């Protein structure tokens, strides 16, 4: 029993993770309120989740990551917002059209690329367009896995609509839990890609 509730025990680790996700959720939401800073806020949130296994998130670390990616994240957010608005506009003009389903698939792929771009900023912090290039490459290579990440976003957005009684829980974890799922899948795909590269070098 003592082991269960010790600092290395399962209960403590679980509660610590829940607390950390709550902190990340609140920080990400607050710093996303000025819409233009949403990209850097999301990247900072991803950055903290990437390091969850090594350390607990702090306000200082979030701010450092937020400031470091402020230009890149904000510019990417503006570019993607414009592209997203264009796509949604085109889809709205093709209601009941045979190509609408295809356009919805394009929109889904676009959302995954956006998500992976900010994950790449948090994980690698490459040059501006290198982040986009790598995100597109990774999305094409592991589309199936990233569909799970997309599902986590969709489910999170549907909870307030269809399960309003869970709104309180969603307010504290509706952003960070999907982000954690996305981080785990991204790390898995990165590891698979690195193994593929290493095997290619050996051959």
Q: What is the DSSP string of 1-70?
A: -HHHHSTTSHHHHHHHHHHHHHHHHHHHHHHHSSGGGHHHHHHHHHHHHHTTTTS---HHHHHHHHHHTH
Yes or no: say if 130 and 140 are a contact pair by the CB < 8 Å rule.
Answer: no
Yes or no: say if 24 and 179 are a contact pair by the CB < 8 Å rule.
Answer: yes
What is the value of pTM for the model shown? 0.89
**Mean pLDDT, the chain, whole residue set:** 90
Residue 117 has what pLDDT?
A: 97
Residue 155 has what pLDDT?
A: 93
Residue 9 has what pLDDT?
A: 60
Question: How many residues in the chain?
Answer: 203
Residue 4 has what pLDDT?
A: 52
Sign of torsion over alpha carbons 115, 120, 125, 127? negative
Residue 171 has what pLDDT?
A: 86
pLDDT < 50 stretches in the chain: none
| Domain that residue 43 falls in | 2-202
* Angle (CA) 163 165 170, round 5°: 75
Domain total of the chain: 1
Among 137, 129, 31, residue whose Cα is nearest residue 72:
129
Q: Report CA-CA distances (Å) from 41 to 17, 46, 77.
A: 20, 9, 10
């Amino acid at each position: 029993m003592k082991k269960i509730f010790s600092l290395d025990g399962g209960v403590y680790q679980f509660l610590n993770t829940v607390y950390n996700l709550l902190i990340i959720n609140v920080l990400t939401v607050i710093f996303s309120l000025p819409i233009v800073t949403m990209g850097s806020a999301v990247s900072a949130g991803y950055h903290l989740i990437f390091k969850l296994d090594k350390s607990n998130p702090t306000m200082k670390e979030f701010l450092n990551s937020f400031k470091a990616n402020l230009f890149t994240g904000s510019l990417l957010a503006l570019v993607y917002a414009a592209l997203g608005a264009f796509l949604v506009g085109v889809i709205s003009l093709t209601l009941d059209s045979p190509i609408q389903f295809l356009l919805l698939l394009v929109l889904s792929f676009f959302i995954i690329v956006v998500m992976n771009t900010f994950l790449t900023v948090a994980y690698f912090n490459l040059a501006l367009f290198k982040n986009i290039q790598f995100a597109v490459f990774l999305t094409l290579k592991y589309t199936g896995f990233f569909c799970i990440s997309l599902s986590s976003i969709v489910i999170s957005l549907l909870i307030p609509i269809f399960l309003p009684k869970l709104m309180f829980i969603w307010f504290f974890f509706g952003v960070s839990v999907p982000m954690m799922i996305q981080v785990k899948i991204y790390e898995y795909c990165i590891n698979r890609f690195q193994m593929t590269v290493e095997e290619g070098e050996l051959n």
